[in-house]
Each structure stands twice: as structure tokens, then as C-alpha cells.
Amino acid sequence: MSKKATTASNKTATSYTPLSIAPAQVLRGENCLANSGKAISKLGVRPLVVGGNQTITVIKPFLEPALTTEKLVSQFASYSPECAESSLVKLKDAAQKHQADLIIGVGGGKALDSAKLLAHQCELPIVTIPTSGATCAAWTALSNVYSEAGAFQYDVTLSRCPDLLILDYGLVRTAPQRTLVAGIGDAIAKWYEASVSSGNSTSTLLISAVQQARILRDILFQKSAIAIKNLNSDEWREVVDATVLLAGVIGGIGGADCRTVAAHAVHNGLTYILEAHNILHGEKVAYGILVQLRLEEMVQGNQLAASARQQLLQFYDEIGLPKTLEDLGLENISLAQLRHAAAIATKTQSDIHRLPFSISPEQLAAAMVSTVVKTAKIAPSNK
Ligand SMILES: [Zn+2]
């Protein structure tokens, strides 16, 4: 485009960013990992497999036969304790020593984020193998970086989505039930956050991402309770597809304008509380949605938010998502800790400021302790 044309183009035309919508290939099925060797071997012959210590032990008997059949020379490396800068340095070293030409990430969100970031930094192909339905990290072109102590630091936009995603339902079924419940919490947040962060946008891709987030929410409302009661049901597979795949599609299509808002900001704040470290990402985010709706209700007097919160409280009861700080096991944190979390979540660059009104740490702390409060007058709504 000529310089003149660039100047003449409108604001949106100059803000185009490359699209990273989906992995190049997705294999899925019952025990499909055992037959994935061929697809993996197309991407490299010396894979470095990145996961947590426990996951590596569990996955070796599944993955190794698939790799050796194709004569791939693999090495396993742990990202523990965190997807942190220091772990990345060690992993880069391991990749160089092994002369890796391919990275395979196995595990939950942090393991996959570490593997994706490593592949991005080393400019190598990346395969993701989620071992639970807890996040959509296997799909997305994004990694979250934490401190060694587990406090959220920043996220990194990666050059593309994974080259291959292997969703083995048999493997995911072995994960603790709590992980899928957390994944439901993280996935359902897409609607509550994207519908706010998209504002009044008329962008084709953004509108469609927000509508898919609504569909994702409805699928989860309908099928989650049945899914977690019966791991062999069609509903269970549909819900896993929703949390691992569809949630990723929404982030991919919506891109940078389909971002997180207060629910994830609250999550980020909570990661600074030591006692919160055993709480799963999606559990913190699920609680964060209630806080976000409570803020909309308290600051704007938004009745739709009030009834949406009541609807979610019922849903959380059904499937066991946390509704309060007590449910998160944080009943004994001090006021100073609560204030600190609220201060982190309301820092200038926080996504919480995508809310259409300004928020003080005090307002946020007040919302954080009143997520289950009954609202006097609730207008009927299907928000
Ligand atoms: Zn999330």
C-alpha cells in the first residue's frame, strides 16, 4: 500500500493485526494419542516433551510408543515449578542440548503455556496435548507468564496457534473432575467478558466471536451438570469440546479486542495471595465473573447484571464452582491481603478498566466480599 493510501485509510484499517484463529490440525478421539505418531513426525524428528513432573510420569507410557514407532528421538523436560521466565531459560537450554526440532507440550494450562512460549522463542513447531478440560491453552496463540511464586506477571501473544493439537478423550477422562469444572468456569467467562470488552464494535469477526461466546455459555448451562455426572456421556465430550476447543475459537476469532475484563483481573489479583495457589485458574475466574457482575450492579445499578449473577449462583451450585472467598478456601485471609489483591487487579494497565466505568480498589474489595448478596429487585432477564 502506498504511503498516501495508508494515510487516507481509516483508523481500523491501520490497526489490523495478524489473525491466529486455530491450530493447523486438530486430532481428536478416544485414545487417539496412541495413533498420533505419524502426524507428529511430519513436524520434526527430535521432540522435546514439556510437562509437569507428574504429567510426564503419567503420559510416558501413552506417548513414548507413538514416538518410537516413528523413530523419533524424544527427551522429556519439566517446566516446574511455574510457567516463569526462569523455567523458560532452563527449557531453552534443554531444547538446545537435545537439538530439538519440535516441542510437544503435555498437561494443563501452565505446562502448555510454557511449551508454546518455548517453541515461540526457539522458532520451532509446537504440538499441544491437553490432559484435562481445564483451559483452552492447547488451542490459543497466547501464553501467561507467572513469577516463580505463582503470581501473574504478563501475557505474551505468540506468532501462531499450535501446529497440531491432540485431544485424547481417554486421557482427559483420567483427570480429576475438578479440572473440567474449572474449565467450565474459565470458558463461561468468555461471554461475560467479551460482551463487555467488545463495546459497541461493528467488526464482523468481533461480533461473531461474542455471539459464539453466548452459544458457548448456553451449551455449558445445558450440558455441564449431566457431563460431570457421567464421564461416558455424549454431554461430557461436548463439554470438553466446549472448554478446550470452542473457548479457543472465540479467542482466536475475537483477537485482541475480545479480551478479558474484570473476571480475569480478579484472578490475576488473587494469584498474589499465597493461600490461593492451589485454586485452579478457572475456579478463580468463575468467582471473578460474579465479582464483575456485582460491580456492574453496584456502580451502574445494572439490573441485568444482578439477574445474571443470580442465574450463575444457581449454576455454580449445580456443578460445584466457587461462589465466595470462603468457597475458594480464603476465609482466613487478612483485610490487607484482600486490599493487596484488589490493588493489583485495579492497576492502571489492568483489563478491569475495560469496564465502561471507573473502578477503585475499595469498590472492587466491596464487590469481592458480596458475591452472593441477594438483590432486592431483580428484573427478568436472559443476559
Ligand atoms: Zn482464563
Non-local (6+) Cβ contacts of 217 within 8 A are 188, 190, 191
Q: How far is the CA of 295 from the centre of ligand 1 (A)?
A: 19
List C-alpha distances in Å: 237 to 103, 129, 172, 177, 245: 27, 16, 10, 13, 11
Instruction: Give distance in angstroms: CA of 281 to centre of ligand 1.
Output: 7
3-state secondary structure 101-164: CEEEEEECHHHHHHHHHHHHHHCCCEEEEECCCCCCCCCCCEEEEECCCCCEEEEEECCCCCCE
- How many angstroms does the Cα of residue 282 sit away from the middle of ligand 1? 6
pLDDT for 28 beyond 70: yes
Q: What is the pLDDT of residue 16?
A: 72
| Whole-number Cα distances in Å, 44 to 20, 60, 164, 339, 364 | 22, 18, 12, 49, 48
CA 71 – CA 65 distance, rounded (Å):
10
Burial grade of 4 (CB within 10 A; 0-12, 13-18, 19 or more)? exposed
Closest CA to 47 of 6, 100, 83: 100
Q: What does the pLDDT look like over 310-358, one tens digit per residue?
A: 999 999 999 999 999 999 999 999 999 999 999 999 999 999 999 999 9
Ligand 1 centre from 187 Cα, in Å? 7
pTM for the structure as a whole: 0.92
CA 186 to ligand 1 centroid distance, Å: 5
Query: What are the tens digits of pLDDT across the range 130-144?
Result: 999 999 999 999 999
Centroid of ligand 1 to alpha carbon of 381 (angstroms):
26
